Amino acid sequence: MGLTENNGNTVVTVVIPAYNAANFIEDAVKSCFDQTYRPMETIVVNDGSTDATANKVHALAENLNGSEFELRLIDVDKNMGAANALNLGFSNAKGAYVCWLSADDAFVDKEKVRKQVNRMKKTEADWSYFRDFYIGPNAVTAKLVKSSYLPKLRFLDSFFIRNPDLRLMLLLFRNPVNGSSVMIRKECVTAHGQFDPTMRNIDADGDLWMRYSALKLKLCALKGASVFLREHGGQTSKKKEDMMYGSELTRIRILRMLHRRGKLAKVTRKFAKFFPIILAAKKHLDRPMVSEFLFNYIVENKSQFNYFQVKSAKEALSDVRKHRNYQSIDKNKFADDLAFLEKSEVFAKFEATFEETV
């Protein structure tokens, strides 16, 4: 029996990309089943796993499928990365709303989906997330994390949640949005795009949040923590240098697009008042290629900025180019990798949509 609407509720889909996740997949799936919201489907995209991930999902499906909850497995022959798995899962989702849950994470608030659907309906938001989350090696000892767009300035978050231009620029330096807490309207995914498979395992989420911000899609953020993030040695997020490098590529890609479309000066001027905070927290040094591009743009187009903005840009540019993070990057390789990403079909469709709507 297929999923049907229940008491006026539309179907919600949770997509779980899984690669060799046999140790965690049961907890992730069961946390979806424990949600009070119905009807729900959970799609596990088995991304070329060589362990017992698929077998465990099949065993769970024998007991969980029904008219109100359905568990499906999509097999990918070889490991293609989380971005491709998410893209595949979102494309096959039956739900009017689609969520992402990493295979090693779990929903810890049983009302998570219900709260999110209700808020999105009320606000007519295109996408949403929960502001806080728990993190640790296990749920018992996990610590509460209250993320923010600017370090130690959480009270300013409402500015970035409501203003897509400011949020886009802040995401260049810091991404406080936890992917496993996000929900997106399926209509939004269909009309405005989703995860880019070319990103594989690096920053596919930050890339999508920036694209949605550039398109000015409506966002709402819910208070509280709905998700537990499990820390363990195999996580991509532990590979700091790879994450930094990949994040630089996605951000330069969107900056270059804004420049081509004549929008970079406007959003940069709007964001300029926050530069002193970024510089004081030294966040620009974590994004050396982004900082070089952006501050060099200000210097080269100084007539569009005030004296103090240009002066700060020159000083920041000098600091960045002397820093080890900048000097350690192979600029020729970076240029080649960027050229490859800019050929992405997903990004090309986004740029065409941007040109039509913004």
Write out 321-355 in H/E/C secondary structure.
Answer: HHCHHHHCCCHHHHHHHHHHHCCCHHHHHHHHHHH
pLDDT of residue 1: 44
The rounded distance, in Å, linking the Cα atoms of 327 and 346 is 31
Residues 271 and 178 grouped into a single domain: no
Provide the CB-side half-sphere exposure for 103 (13 A, CA). 27
Residues 229 and 257 grouped into a single domain: no
Return the closest-CA partner of residue 55 out of 44, 40, 65: 44
Residues 347 and 300 grouped into a single domain: yes
Residues 16 and 153 grouped into a single domain: yes
Residues 80 and 227 grouped into a single domain: yes
Residues 84 and 142 grouped into a single domain: yes
Domain presence at residue 1 = no
Let me know: does 253 contact 341? Beta carbons within 8 Å: yes
pLDDT digits (tens, 9 = 90+) for 180-223: 999 999 999 999 999 999 999 989 999 999 999 999 999 999 99
The sign one gets for the Cα dihedral 209, 38, 186, 49 is positive
Q: Which amino acid makes up residue 253?
A: R
Residues 62 and 119 grouped into a single domain: yes
Q: Which residues of the chain have pLDDT under 50?
A: 1
- Calculated CA dihedral for residues 246, 230, 160, 306, nearest 10 degrees: -40
Domain presence at residue 251 = yes
Residues 132 and 261 grouped into a single domain: no
Non-local (6+) Cβ contacts of 256 within 8 A are: 293, 342
Domain presence at residue 5 = no
Residues 110 and 133 grouped into a single domain: yes
Domain presence at residue 100 = yes
Q: Which of 217, 234, 251 is the last residue of a domain?
A: 234
Domain presence at residue 2 = no
The rounded distance, in Å, linking the Cα atoms of 179 and 331 is 30
Residues 179 and 60 grouped into a single domain: yes
Q: Which of 183, 212, 234 is the last residue of a domain?
A: 234
Residues 256 and 224 grouped into a single domain: no
Q: Which of 234, 268, 289 is the last residue of a domain?
A: 234
User: Residue 159 is part of a domain; what is its CATH number?
Assistant: 3.90.550.10
Please tell me the total count of domains within the chain.
2
pLDDT of residue 354: 95
What b/e string do you get for 44-66 counting C-beta neighbours within 10 Å, with b at 16 or more? bbbbbbeeebbebbeebbeebbe
pLDDT digits (tens, 9 = 90+) for 56-72: 999 999 877 667 999 99
Domain presence at residue 104 = yes
Domain presence at residue 3 = no
Residue 155 DSSP label: G
The rounded distance, in Å, linking the Cα atoms of 328 and 67 is 55
pLDDT of residue 240: 81
Q: The domain containing residue 313 runs over which residues?
A: 242-357
Structure tokens that stand for 10 in this block: 């539309």
Q: Is the peptide bond before 39 cis (omega within 30 degrees of 0)?
A: yes
Residues 200 and 275 grouped into a single domain: no
The rounded distance, in Å, linking the Cα atoms of 105 and 181 is 10
The rounded distance, in Å, linking the Cα atoms of 297 and 306 is 13
Domain presence at residue 135 = yes
